[in-house]
Structure 1
Amino acid sequence: MTQTAEILDNLAKPWHVQVRSSAALAGAVEEAAAKDDRQREEDGREKPRRKPGLAGVPASWAGETITLTPWELLHTLGRALAVSRQGTGRGLAEHWGSLKYCQALEGGVTQFMALSREGTDPKRHYRTLQSHELGKGFALAVAERIVRRQFPGHSVSAVDAEVVLQAGWVLTGKHVRRRDWVQLRPDFLLEAWRPGEPSKIVPLVCRGTHQKTAYAHKQLASASAQAEAFHVGPWNTTSALVTSTELLGQGGVVVHVLQAPGTGALQVDPGDPAADADVGLRQENLFPQVLLAPAEGDQDAVYGGGFQVMPDDFAWFRRNVVRTSAAGLAAFTGSGALAARYLTERQGRENFEGFTHAGTGIVQDAEAEIRGARFLGTDHVFRLRGTRVEVFSGMAEDLFACLSKGEVEQYRRAAHAGTALATARRARDRWGGPVSLRDDGSAMAIRALPATGASGRTVRRS
């Protein structure tokens, strides 16, 4: 077996990932937060407002492990990066950034996922990026399972919180009215949804570290301030998840996670035209503040920094979340023009329009048959240990057709029903390499390409 074949084989193997969530963890994080507050007080710095009530996630939701393949993790991360506008790439090219971790993860004799030799030997600046991005991938994998178990029978979508918030609040630039009030925000918003029912929004904060467990406690204490910055409805009634992924944990990767109680339900009447995601989204200019305590008697109302979605804006926010999720799917397929249709100006519509730097653009011009189902998307060819490999990312043809016609609500009904991927999940794999399918209808697959000589003829490798 060649080195490339071994790498691809490893990407398709399922490994366990450790999950830690308990009252003891919550107590350790509370101590870390108290220590940080004391240090801030001594230094004359302002203490952050932290999410109260953080506790261990019920064992029936979190479990002690999750099982997934490295390729499934990279698919999750790639979807998360599709509209993040971070990194050196522009627009659509960013989701390919997950591929740099093709050789970073492996499983050992204990069957637990861990960093490989290559994954543990990056330069210092790269270690920071690695913990940041892999921390997001592992956090999303764990958080999505928790939310599915918290809300049985619901589909779960993850959207970049910054992109969602940009549609309603000015976060950067000279027009920011309270710069200190927009600095903290979650990394993602998880939407638990079922057609015809109110969506539930769960903010998620993701951290990652190469250091020991004590540092993860500090990260969770800091993450609680980010989680506290976002609320649906009255203050402190929105559930939240905070995570810290210990990449060099004892026995392999460890995801530490805590949860705050709440629902975060967007109570919108079924069929409310103001919530219809098929209709274009208007851009708002909301003030970044959270009502902590209403006025009472002689006491004035108490406000703090952050983002609060009040009942009058529930329908608008629901449309915002759904259309931003659709933009992410469109970007993942390489369709920049389609992604731009679902974004507002502040959300980065221009990143998906017009000129793109050479080498960073993606075009939705590929199709693939995976497990008997047809997918539309884009592809990327690069060399892995000297062998040319092809990566395809796309969506089930029927679901992509819904988004291309602007029928987001129909896409949601079809995706929730699960019929688009039913055949692919049962069929035998003939792709020739690792495949990952997600409930949103997206697919990511990789395989080695035949070697070709200078004449273009296929040649054998020894």
Structure 2
Amino acid sequence: MRTSPAHVLHELGVATTLLTASPLAQVARHWAHVRYCATLTRQRGVLGLTPSAQSLVYHHKVTQSEQLGIGLALVVAKRVLQRQYPHWTFFAVDAEVALKAGFIDGAGAVARTSKSQKRPDYFLVGHHSSGRRRRMKIVVLECKGTHQSPGFAYGQLARAAVQVRTLAVGGRRPPALMVASYLAEHRITSYVLDPPGDDELWDGDPDDFEGMLRDRPEDHRWRTRPADADEARTWPLVDENAGPPDATGPAPVDELPPGAPEVFDVPEEERGWFTRVLTRAVAATALLFAGDSATARDYATPRQRGDEEPHHGQLRLFELDPSWAASTATSREVADDLRARGTLYRAPLPNGKALEVFRGVESGLYGQLADGQIAAYLRAAPLVRRRWLRSRPRDGVVSLGRDGTILTIRVTDRRD
């Protein structure tokens, strides 16, 4: 498959938008792009690591592989799903954010615990509009990355097989994708496993769909349940030596704790509630990517926002005390006939140059999200990309996702 360094960084930036809650979140959300914009390159048509990225010391490589593994997994997973479902659009939602609205048993905890290590990274929320029907799917995604060896990536997939099976909807498991990327200087290879599952989340009339999304979902206080005896027999054993017979590499450093994981079981009658939670998280993610924390906050439930009595170690998604943290979104033209609302970050470079990173959402889509028109946004987002493919981008590197989010990176003179 074909991709680009900018596309990988774009997916990473969108996916990690909800992970930072502080007065400096607007600046911190640019960090993935600034830190990793010089790590990926194309050599003879193949994506690989730059020499500087390859020469990092071990503990920095661990962070780098984890972060780039997220971006690469999202690029690969969305491409796989586009081939399986050509007329669908998939949006990434942080699993912790979605689960926190329904479950009080540890979802959203900052601490690294035996339970949190067995949860998946993301949900890929699929939307399809045929004019007479609206349909939604959910695919569970676990992202892995390593510099060590292809054999190590195989072991990561074995551990991921446990993590993707911790969600059930109506007693049935959704399909899943596990992507482990092996990062090397001359080639990046992603290994994929795709266990099947019940992939329909919601199916109905467009008017019913829009009416459902207008209702605000309330927080539930469900608890996770341990895997029962029949389920426990299906949890795969993790083999430290998993992989091809000739693969070599050190023992995994992210080995899962022993025992079956806790299961997040969304009741069958709450499929509509779960659909609302996921689609509103999609909207909040896009707005936060554009720098509009104040509007994004309105799409979250009280527990997701941290408005309830704070629990020790729980993740707060929004921190809006300073007035300048509420929104920094401004309008910018990124291509012919294509404008976006978003935030601009500039960092000085040697020789009088500056690195300029812009993150945003296409202006029309931004307006729909700001007005609470989630259904209209889901329908219109892929159409914007088709129109943009016929446009001529401005200077620099431009990446436009099927969710309408936009990333541009360019080097300019500091006086510009």
Short-chain TM bin: 0.7 to 0.9
Paired letter, 1:230: L
Structure 2 match to 1:407: 373
Structure 1 match to 2:255: none
Q: Which runs of 5+ in 1 are unaligned?
A: 1-65, 295-302, 453-457
Structure 2 match to 1:441: 404
Structure 2 match to 1:424: 388
State the secondary structure of the residue aligned to 1:413.
Answer: helix
- Residue 175 of structure 1: CA displacement? 10
Cα deviation code 1:296-315 (max 9, x no counterpart)? xxxxxxx9721122311100
Q: Is the 8 A contact 2:356 2:411 kept in 1?
A: yes
Which of 241, 258, 264 is residue 193 of structure 2 equivalent to? 258
Q: Is the 8 A contact 1:83 1:91 kept in 2?
A: no
Distance change >3 Å, CA 410–CA 253, structure 1 → 2? same
Structure 2 match to 1:367: 332
Distance change >3 Å, CA 246–CA 182, structure 1 → 2? closer
Distance change >3 Å, CA 134–CA 362, structure 1 → 2? farther
State the secondary structure of the residue aligned to 2:213.
Answer: coil
Q: Does 1:231 align with 2:164?
A: no
Which of 151, 157, 162 is residue 220 of structure 1 equivalent to? 157
Structure 1 match to 2:283: 326
Q: Does 1:352 align with 2:318?
A: yes
Q: Distance in 2 between matches of 1:227 and 1:194?
A: 23
Cα deviation code 1:293-336 (max 9, x no counterpart)? 79xxxxxxxx9721122311100000000000100000010001
Structure 1 match to 2:354: 388
Structure 2 match to 1:112: 46
What TM-score, normalized to structure 1? 0.73
* Correspondence 1:164-243 to 2 at 5 A: 164-172=98-106, 183-195=117-129, 196-235=133-172, 237-243=173-179
Q: Distance in 2 between matches of 1:439 and 1:173?
A: 29
Structure 2 match to 1:125: 59
Q: Is the 8 A contact 1:90 1:351 kept in 2?
A: no
Q: Is the 8 A contact 2:287 2:296 kept in 1?
A: yes
* Correspondence 1:285-324 to 2 at 5 A: 285-289=221-225, 292=228, 305-324=262-281
Q: Does 1:140 align with 2:74?
A: yes
Deviates more, 1:331-340 or 1:92-101: 92-101
Q: Distance in 1 between matches of 2:93 and 2:154?
A: 25
Q: Is the 8 A contact 1:378 1:394 kept in 2?
A: yes
Distance change >3 Å, CA 113–CA 182, structure 1 → 2? closer
Q: Distance in 2 between matches of 1:284 and 1:186?
A: 20
Distance change >3 Å, CA 227–CA 369, structure 1 → 2? closer
State the secondary structure of the residue aligned to 2:120.
Answer: coil
Deviates more, 1:162-171 or 1:89-98: 89-98
Q: Distance in 2 between matches of 1:170 and 1:207?
A: 27
Q: Which runs of 5+ in 2 are unaligned?
A: 231-259, 307-315
Cα deviation code 1:56-75 (max 9, x no counterpart)? xxxxxxxxxx1111111111
Distance change >3 Å, CA 117–CA 193, structure 1 → 2? same
Structure 2 match to 1:102: 37
What TM-score, normalized to structure 2? 0.81
Q: Distance in 2 between matches of 1:210 and 1:306?
A: 31
Q: Distance in 2 between matches of 1:175 and 1:145?
A: 31
Cα deviation code 1:182-218 (max 9, x no counterpart)? 5521101011211333311110001111111111111
Q: Distance in 1 between matches of 2:224 and 2:304?
A: 17
- Residue 148 of structure 1: CA displacement? 1.6
State the secondary structure of the residue aligned to 1:277.
Answer: helix
- Residue 108 of structure 1: CA displacement? 1.7
Distance change >3 Å, CA 390–CA 311, structure 1 → 2? same
Cα deviation code 1:429-462 (max 9, x no counterpart)? 2x2111111111111112222343xxxxx7xxxx
Q: Is the 8 A contact 2:161 2:178 kept in 1?
A: yes
Provide the aligned C-alpha RMSD in A: 3.0
State the secondary structure of the residue aligned to 2:153.
Answer: helix
Structure 1 match to 2:4: 69
- Residue 170 of structure 1: CA displacement? 2.1
Q: Is the 8 A contact 2:174 2:198 kept in 1?
A: yes
Structure 1 match to 2:253: none
